[in-house]
Structure 1
Amino acid sequence: MEPLPTGISVLDREFGGGIPSGSVVALKADAASQSELILDRFSRVRACRYLTTVRSADAVEAGLTADDEEGETVVRDATGDDPFAAVLDATAELAEGETVVVDSVGPLEAGDREEYGAFLGELRRRVDDAGGLAVLHALKGAAADRNRVVTEQVADVVFDLRTTVTGTEIANRLVVPKFRGGAALEEPLKLKLTDSVSVDTSRDIA
């Protein structure tokens, strides 16, 4: 399985070039975090279909970085009464190596468990056939509890972005507890998330 770059250089170095093609990635994060910056990087590095299930397509396009590095990012609206059908319709005939971003997966997790499992299986098959990636933006919260275990079980890679706020700083630590086809990180990676993604080199003071 060819590693596909994430667009985040420090992660690509840690993972030997990127994430194995055909993988499903779950990005867990607080809704009030800067996790969309990580999605932005995934969407810029090669051709991408960015499927929005909550926000309008115009709002997503306005927030994405304009200058794609390699491929075009196409934003599609996947809102509505049947998000399963909307996402699957939008992922037909994926190009070789294409990335699919689902932002967020919450409305799909809220559905029937058997239907959701079947949906994930079909999405995985499509990205595997195309040798691409699927990135599921899995926001944390009580509403996600219903089928989040299914998301985490099916996912090949789990990114857990943990944001903590103290009186002096906002700290973002990326934990990678699961990585099929590679090695998970042994310790959290401290990230600086402002208007871009970089490594936070500041020292923690106890």
Structure 2
Amino acid sequence: MSRLATGIDVLDRQLGGGIPAGSIVHLAADPASQSELFLHELTTTRGTLWLTTIRSAEAVSDALDRSPGPAGTPTVRDVGGDAPLDTANSLVRDLPEGANLIIDVADVLERNESARYRKFLNDLQTHMVNTRGLTVLHGLKGESVPDNRDLTEHMADVVFDLDTKIDGSEIVNRLAVPKFRGGRALDETIKLRLAERVSVDTSRDIA
């Protein structure tokens, strides 16, 4: 089974070379975390369409330009208007072979009626399989999680769960991969350092 790199070497090694082509990944993260670094690094691997639902396209492009670490030059489109599911669906249909799709954040789409959102996910999954691409649905773990989040996690082939906590003077980021279709889910979390780029945090935990 062919694998697609995430752009994060340490993660790709842990996952046996990357994510299986044709997969949908759900990246769940706290709103105040540096989870966008994952998305920035993914844009360096291959052609990417970035659909933004909250920030403007200009704000996303500016953030990529100012990123202290690796970042590509994705095509950025704002789909957060009156019919976000319809707009996103029309853009997804034009994705070429082997491309990345980033939806940031998925929460806006998840707040649509369940049957319509389920159809969107099924159509997206079919397109990813046919084009051997990779989708990342960036979902927020805040206080107002959409009702359809369970649907997202069930349909996703891979789930990345980023947990960010402030422990005294230290910010601790741990990544869990509890779900991995077509591969092996990780038994333990990975302690990460999210600064200029995503790297392993080698500092020792103090009990």
> Match of 2:43, SS?
helix
Cα contact 1:46–1:70 (8 A) shared by 2: no
The alpha carbon displacement at 1:13 in A equals: 0.6
Unaligned runs of 5+ in 1: none
Separation of aligned partners in 1, 2:111 and 2:123: 18
Question: What does 1:93-112 align with in structure 2 at a 5 Å threshold?
Answer: 93-112=94-113
Unaligned runs of 5+ in 2: none
1:13 is aligned to 13
Separation of aligned partners in 1, 2:65 and 2:179: 28
> Match of 1:153, SS?
helix
Corresponding position: 1:89 with 2:127: no
Separation of aligned partners in 2, 1:129 and 1:69: 29
2:159 is aligned to 158
Aligned letter for 2:54?
V
2:32 is aligned to 32
The alpha carbon displacement at 1:198 in A equals: 0.7
Runs (4 or more) in structure 1 with deviation over 6 Å come to: 66-71
Closer/same/farther in 2, CA of residues 65 and 203 from structure 1, 3 Å limit: farther
> Match of 2:96, SS?
coil
Aligned letter for 1:171?
V
> Match of 2:144, SS?
helix
Equivalenced residues, count: 206
Aligned letter for 2:16?
G
Cα contact 1:47–1:70 (8 A) shared by 2: no
Identical amino acids, percent of aligned pairs: 50
The alpha carbon displacement at 1:72 in A equals: 4.6
1:123 is aligned to 124
Aligned letter for 2:2?
E
Question: What does 1:1-206 align with in structure 2 at a 5 Å threshold?
Answer: 1-64=1-64, 72-206=73-207
The alpha carbon displacement at 1:12 in A equals: 0.7
CA RMSD of aligned residues (A): 1.8
> 1:23-67, CA deviations, whole angstroms, 9 ceiling, x for partnerless residues?
000000001100000111112211000000000001001111579
> Match of 2:34, SS?
coil
Aligned letter for 1:102?
I
The alpha carbon displacement at 1:151 in A equals: 0.3
The alpha carbon displacement at 1:15 in A equals: 1.2
